[in-house]
């Protein structure tokens, strides 16, 4: 089977991780996959915040749990995190950000790295604490959170390719 197809079919959301950080070479490939994702009118408005420091990652995890009103670690103990932001002044900012997330998750899988999209990037970075962090990272006010991508080496069996609902194609004539 074509390698790209194999990657797409076999990528699964991973929720159990080893503590080691992904290597900088592997991380670089993942980020390249993010910046090479198409963007509307080629605005290239996506920005990527890479969080590798355990204390900062734990803080963002707590902020994420807080907006969800939940206890526990929504990042499943993953050692690394990429937060995708995009420019909400543009009409397609969410689409641009989501496509970068998809490219990066597939590139992670292609290198044997696990990942999962974790929700609530928007809500977290609309809080006062979240906006303060975004400012610290040099993000303009119009940049809003699209998605959190946790990543790391899986500490679980390779999940089976997931079942997909049937009857989702209609070949229009």
Ligand X SMILES: Cc1cc2nc3c(=O)[nH]c(=O)nc-3n(C[C@H](O)[C@H](O)[C@H](O)COP(=O)(O)O)c2cc1C
The DSSP result for 102-128, as a single string, is HHHHHHHHHTT-EEEEES-HHHHTTSH
CB of 116 to ligand X, least distance (A): 5
CB of 23 to ligand X, least distance (A): 23
Q: Does 162 bind ligand X (CB under 6 A)?
A: yes
CB nearer ligand X, residue 72 or residue 138:
72
Strand 47-51, strand 114-118: pairing: unpaired
Q: Does 119 bind ligand X (CB under 6 A)?
A: yes
Is 74 in a helix, a strand, or coil?
A: coil
CB of 85 to ligand X, least distance (A): 15
- Single residue of 13, 44, 95, 111 touching ligand X by CB under 6 A: 13
CB of 156 to ligand X, least distance (A): 12
- Single residue of 116, 121, 139, 151 touching ligand X by CB under 6 A: 116
Q: Does 117 bind ligand X (CB under 6 A)?
A: yes
Question: CB atoms < 10 A from the CB of 129, how many?
Answer: 14
User: Which residues are bridge partners to 50 per DSSP?
Assistant: 82
In which order are the strands placed within the sheet that holds 114-118? 47-51, 80-87, 143-152, 114-118
List residues binding ligand X (CB under 6 A).
12-13, 15, 116-119, 162
């Amino acid at each position: 089977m074509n390698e790209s197809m194999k990657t797409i079919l076999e990528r699964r959301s991973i929720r159990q991780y080893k503590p080691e950080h992904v290597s900088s070479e592997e991380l670089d490939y993942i980020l390249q996959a993010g910046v090479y994702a198409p963007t509307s009118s080629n605005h290239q408005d996506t920005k990527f915040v890479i969080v590798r420091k355990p204390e900062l990652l734990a803080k963002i995890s707590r902020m994420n749990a807080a907006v969800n009103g939940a206890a526990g670690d929504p990042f499943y103990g993953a050692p690394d995190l990429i937060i995708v932001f995009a420019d909400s002044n543009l009409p397609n900012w969410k689409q641009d950000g989501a496509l970068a997330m998809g490219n990066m998750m597939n590139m992670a899988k292609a290198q044997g790295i696990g990942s999962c999209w974790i929700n609530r990037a928007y809500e977290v970075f609309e809080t006062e604490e979240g906006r303060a962090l975004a400012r610290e990272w040099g993000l303009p006010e119009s940049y809003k959170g699209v998605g959190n991508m946790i990543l790391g080496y899986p500490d679980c069996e390779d999940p089976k390719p997931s079942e997909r609902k049937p009857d989702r194609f209609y070949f229009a004539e």
